[in-house]
Amino acid sequence: MLRAYTNKLISGCGGSGVVNSLLYGNAINGSFIFTKNQQQQQQQQLSQYRYFTSTTDKPASPTSATPTTPLDKNNILTDTFNRKHTYLRISLTEKCNLRCQYCMPEEGVELAPNDKILTDDEILRISRLFASAGVTKIRFTGGEPLIRKNIESLIEQVGKIEGIEKIGITTNGLVLHRKLERLQKGGVNLLNISLDTLDTHKFTLITRRLGWEKVMESINKALSLNFNPVKINCVVMKNINDMEICDFVEMTREKNVEIRFIEYMPFGGNKWSDKKFVSYTDMIKMIKEKFGALDRCVDEANNTSKTYQVPGFKGRVGFITSMSEHFCSSCNRLRMTADGNLKVCLFGNTEVSLRDIMRSGASDEEILKVINQAVLKKKASHAVVEGLVLCFVNLSNTITSKLGVATAAMSSALFPSVTPNPLPSMRSYSTFNSGGVHNNNNNNNNNPFSHVNSTSNMPTMVDVSAKVPTKRTAHARTIVEFPTDVLQQLLGSDRKEISSKKGPVFATSIVAGTMAVKNTSNMIPFCHPLGIEAIKIDIAVISDAQVQVDCTVSVFSKTGVEMEALVGASLTSLCIYDMCKALSHDIVLKETKLISKKGGKSDVGEK
């Protein structure tokens, strides 16, 4: 169900029927899908091995399809970024007995013919081949995997394969309670149940089906059989079920469940939309406001979920942050679609049909060579992340052209794979804490950017989960300069407030600055949302022509509030300008600077 969810939502990125067919496992001719600008290059690279085909090719005969390069049997599933793939997800069916609003239309989707779906024997052969290459964990998904006939027998046979240590199932839970005991005896030891609401009526609205009680029965059945833990997948959607986040967390008080909140992937029509998107940092804030402390747990290697626990609670909560903080650099997953296509990345637009290869009579070694070639072509990060990076790059390029500032070198350092080198005549500069402007033409590999992932070179929010919360304060200041006659005209007798036709200038501006402080994380991309404890904004007339704005912000947190203070001072000053601009457009917002910060690694400024 989770695969179907992510597949459906990402379909808007491609904008093509080919991509949409891929998302439901209906790859054309079961072959590799390429974008037009990749097609010729990929065909040349793969011409020695005809199992890899473009969307216009017919499946090739295996008779002349043997690569000349010997196969390294110890690294068949290791890609060019040294990621070892030990986890295989196999879709057993495209069918589902729910019609979730975010997953598929009410009438369902076009399904592949039954003769195109992998048989039990083919699934077992694929499982054995991947196990021989190093896979230790297999998860069965769908559609809804439990509506496949004879699934219990299939699981029992997979459980006997040498090397397979873990077998998981991701299910919507409607029929799980009837089959779980035999599945557990057959080897299933990992269980994920999809449930987006604790309200039976809302369940019917979201899924277009009845059955909430059956899902809860399955969860309780799994708990009685001592699954450790029972994982519950919840796709969080703004104004639909985000108000239930704390209700889900409450389930962990007495039950050994792990609620996994999944960020909604807000793509549609090739445009980014955040109408339903709720970031995991916002979710954490909601939980802390209700339950107080939230401890970070130690995650397993290659885990996609950031796991937390409310102190004293039996269960845990996790966050799958595929939108705000991707986990591509540690990805160890490969996927088989129900109709036999191998996908090395869920978000990628390439597949290879192992079904066609098997049915053409290929040997195990030939199939392993195809698998190896596919793994070697896995990219550093998925398409969604690359698209977001291009947004940052385009923004950087726009700033460069508008301001005439040589920032292209900075862009190249941040995103070397997608940005051009600066022109020879361009020079780049950066500012440092020691003051002044310094030439920065030489690369400095000893000072990596904190907001760039060191492995993938992708933008990322700094992880502060391991830091200890402390009292943090920051003080910022902006000077607003008026024409002398204008300021004197506005001043009252006490010189503590000025009034314009729009009303009291200082009082209104303080409100604006306070609102700005609380919304800093919505304006500055990588600022953490913070529970601000105190905001103090002072405005004073310091001369016949100048007004001084001071903004001091305090918080008890793992990260500082310098940006909040700077934003507060800036927006307060902008509001002053707006309130007074009818009298003069010669009002100038002069320097905005950080006066001091306290808490964290070091203090800066006034003591």
Active-site residue set: 578
DSSP-assigned beta bridge partners for residue 234:
261
- Which strands form 470-481's sheet, in the order they lie side by side? 534-541, 546-557, 470-481, 588-598, 604-605
- Convert 12-42 into a string of H (helix), E (strand) and C (coil): HHHCCHHHHHHHCCCCHHHCCCCCHHHHHHH
| Cα Dmax for the chain | 97
> Taking a C-beta distance cutoff of 8 angstroms, is the pair 166, 140 a contact?
no
The string over 300-324, giving b where at least 16 C-beta atoms fall within 10 Å of a residue's C-beta and e elsewhere, is eebebbbbbbbeebebbbbbbbbbb
Q: Please name the residues in contact with 435: beta carbons below 8 A apart, sequence gap of 6 or more.
A: none
Distance CA 340, CA 352 (A): 8
First vs last C-alpha separation in the chain? 56
Structure tokens at 592: 């905005």
Give the three-state DSSP class for 145.
helix
Cα separations in angstroms, 103 against 15, 106, 209, 571, 575: 17, 10, 13, 41, 45
State how far the Cα of 368 lies from the Cα of 374, in Å rounded to an integer: 10
Quick count: other Cβ atoms within 10 Å of Cβ 484? 12
Residues 548, 543: Cα–Cα separation, whole Å:
9
- Residues 321, 322, 325: CA angle, nearest 5 degrees: 60
What is the rounded CA–CA span in Å between residue 369 and residue 540? 74
Assign residue 345 a region (left: φ > 0; alpha: ψ between -120 and 50; beta: otherwise). beta
Q: Quick one: tokens of 468?
A: 């200890």
d(CA 477, CA 334): 53
Which pair of structure tokens corresponds to residue 177? Answer: 């309670």
